[in-house]
């Protein structure tokens, strides 16, 4: 049962093959047994989860037509405020914060009848590419416990990969859904900025953060996105646009050349190699093999260029810390969260609470952000980075005049060893070299499994034009109908 997709589990619940209580208990038992080694969950509350499962079973028993997620257990990243649940954002600063309200994403899953299995571990305030900055300790990759799962949504990725949950939510500020999806052999989707509400999602960089689904297949991600997406008047960046069914295109029959006429853009910047940031030959070989499979499915490829791609990392690491320094100023030890036990006056309380409550990576980004926003440096750094951001977005606009979808590697390597990059922040930041530009432009992007190198999974990144989530999911689904990489499970966990 645990290897079934979300849609298959939904069918099993509808056919009374299993109850939501039984299914939820099955996952809770696996979490209790396997999470101590993986550290994928921060908070699990069996009583709350089983109460939701019983309510879902009663709803189905009443004869009311149930939705596809009614009774489905899901893991929620601990960045989403969840009423009555500890919501820590992976930080000591929020180690005692029990949210008094639900984020919009949580509200929508609750309304759909889904069950919350628990809150997953994450890099502190979503700042990291390896899930090693969490106050609650590093998450381990189920494919190799000595390796990182990627970040910042590493807890969600590890939970789904280890079959502790059928699917999960994540957030993506610079690749934090796609990169862990690639390193853990999952499908992960970052929607167009504004498609999913940010209300109740603890902010890192407000103009970049976006929530999205993580699952084992494009079909599962489509089902989750159908619930997550939609206008929210409480979020000023939420887009008021017609509701879409992201699963609709997936129903078309397979066979033949289902992607005939699709033009895939291959940026020359994605396939070059440099000493510090180029894609490893093993990953590049798998990506090229996946593109060959797409050609067999009827797609044609064209070479494109994203000339300002090389500027995405430096631009991101000016803009994101600047916004973080503003967003995290609210954590001051006064209203909620951690407060230093001993202090002399108000200023001393602020200083000690923040010094003790924040981890090293968060402090580093706050300091960088405060510096680039300070008088005399704003124009030289922050404003210049925003101009570069516009150039990057314009490159994508030009590229999509030549193609329908852009493809390339998600991550330049497979999962690296725990601690391998901890002493070199710049090397760590380059883990997101292929994903960051998508966030700067506000585009949708996803990662899908495309094979293994040295027994570790690699991901193929798909980038679409604005609001092209349905097309991306369809393109991913056709590949997954022709291959079985996404069905592979870590040894001993299937």
Per-domain boundaries in the chain: 6-260+471-487
Residue 202 scores a pLDDT above 90:
yes
* pLDDT score recorded for residue 31: 98
Mean pLDDT of 254-280: 80
Inter-residue contact 322 to 372 (CB < 8 Å): yes
Residue 215 scores a pLDDT above 60:
yes
Mean pLDDT of 71-92: 98
Distance of CA 288 to the CA centre of its chain: 24
pLDDT in tens, 321-371: 999 999 999 999 999 999 999 999 999 999 999 999 999 999 999 999 999
Mean pLDDT of 148-157: 97
Residue 274 scores a pLDDT above 50:
no
Active site residue 268: no
C-alpha radius of gyration, the chain, whole number:
21
* pLDDT score recorded for residue 252: 67
CATH number of 6-260+471-487: 3.90.1300.10
How far apart (Å, rounded) are the C-alpha atoms in residues 460 and 447?
Answer: 5
* pLDDT score recorded for residue 253: 64
- Considering the entire predicted model, what is its pTM? 0.96
The CA-atom distances, in angstroms, between 280 and each of 272, 286, 412, 413 are: 10, 10, 6, 6
The CA-atom distances, in angstroms, between 23 and each of 8, 28, 155, 309 are: 12, 9, 21, 45
Catalytic one among 10, 19, 49, 77? Answer: 77
Q: For strand 300-304 and strand 445-453, is the pairing parallel, antiparallel, or unpaired?
A: unpaired
Residue 276 scores a pLDDT above 60:
no
Q: Which of 16, 85, 88 is nearest to 44 (CA)?
A: 85
Active site residue 312: no
Catalytic one among 20, 176, 238, 312? Answer: 176
How far apart (Å, rounded) are the C-alpha atoms in residues 447 and 47?
Answer: 34
How far apart (Å, rounded) are the C-alpha atoms in residues 80 and 202?
Answer: 6
pLDDT in tens, 462-479: 999 999 999 999 999 999
Active site residue 152: yes
Mean pLDDT of 66-88: 98
pLDDT in tens, 367-402: 999 999 998 899 999 999 999 999 999 999 999 999
How far apart (Å, rounded) are the C-alpha atoms in residues 181 and 457?
Answer: 9
Catalytic one among 130, 152, 238, 411? Answer: 152
Q: Which of 182, 159, 167, 52 is nearest to 116 (CA)?
A: 52
Residue 277 scores a pLDDT above 80:
no
| Helix-, strand-, coil-residue percentages of the chain, each rounded to 5 | 40, 15, 45
Residue 272 scores a pLDDT above 90:
no
């Amino acid at each position: 049962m645990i290897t079934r997709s979300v849609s298959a589990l939904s069918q099993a619940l509808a056919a009374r093959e299993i109850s939501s209580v039984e299914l939820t208990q099955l996952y809770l038992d696996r979490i209790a047994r396997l999470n101590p080694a993986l550290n994928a969950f921060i908070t699990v509350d069996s009583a709350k989860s089983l109460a939701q499962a019983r309510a879902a079973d009663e709803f189905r028993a009443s004869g009311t037509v149930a939705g596809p997620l009614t009774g489905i257990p899901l893991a929620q990243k601990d960045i989403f405020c969840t009423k009555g649940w500890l919501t820590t954002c992976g930080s000591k600063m929020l180690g005692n914060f029990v949210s008094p309200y639900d984020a919009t994403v949580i509200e929508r899953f609750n309304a759909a009848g889904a069950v919350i299995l628990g809150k997953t571990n994450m890099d502190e305030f979503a700042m990291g590419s390896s899930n090693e900055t969490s106050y609650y300790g590093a998450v381990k990759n189920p494919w190799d416990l000595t390796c990182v799962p990627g970040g910042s949504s590493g807890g969600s990725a590890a939970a789904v990969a280890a079959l502790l949950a059928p699917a999960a939510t994540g957030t993506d500020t610079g690749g934090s859904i796609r990169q862990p999806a690639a390193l853990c052999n999952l499908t992960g989707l970052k929607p167009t900025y504004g498609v999913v509400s940010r209300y109740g999602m603890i902010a890192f960089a407000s103009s970049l953060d976006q929530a999205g689904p993580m699952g084992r297949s494009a079909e599962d991600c489509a089902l989750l996105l159908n619930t997550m997406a939609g206008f929210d008047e409480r979020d000023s960046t939420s887009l008021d646009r017609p509701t879409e069914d992201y699963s609709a295109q997936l129903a078309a029959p397979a066979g033949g050349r289902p992607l005939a006429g699709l033009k895939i853009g291959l940026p020359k910047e994605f396939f070059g190699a440099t000493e510090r940031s180029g894609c490893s030959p093993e990953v590049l070989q798998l990506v090229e093999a996946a593109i060959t499979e797409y050609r067999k499915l009827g797609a044609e490829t064209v070479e494109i260029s994203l000339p300002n791609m090389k500027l995405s990392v430096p631009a991101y690491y000016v803009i994101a810390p600047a916004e973080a320094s503003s967003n995290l100023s609210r954590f001051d030890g006064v209203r909620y969260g951690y407060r230093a036990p001993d202090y002399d006056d108000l200023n001393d309380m602020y200083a000690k609470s923040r010094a003790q409550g924040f981890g090293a990576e968060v402090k580093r980004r706050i300091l960088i952000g405060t510096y680039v926003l300070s008088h005399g440096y704003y124009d030289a750094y922050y404003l210049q980075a925003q101009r570069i951001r516009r150039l990057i977005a314009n490159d994508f606009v030009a590229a999509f005049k030549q193609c329908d979808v852009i493809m390339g590697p998600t991550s330049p390597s497979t999962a690296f060893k725990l601690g391998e990059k901890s002493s070199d922040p710049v090397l760590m930041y380059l883990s997101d070299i292929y994903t960051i530009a998508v966030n700067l432009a506000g585009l949708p992007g996803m990662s899908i499994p495309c094979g293994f190198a040295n027994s570790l999974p690699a991901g193929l990144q798909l980038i679409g034009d604005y609001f092209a989530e349905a097309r991306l999911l369809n393109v991913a689904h056709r590949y997954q109908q022709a291959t079985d990489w996404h069905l592979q499970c870590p040894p001993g966990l299937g």
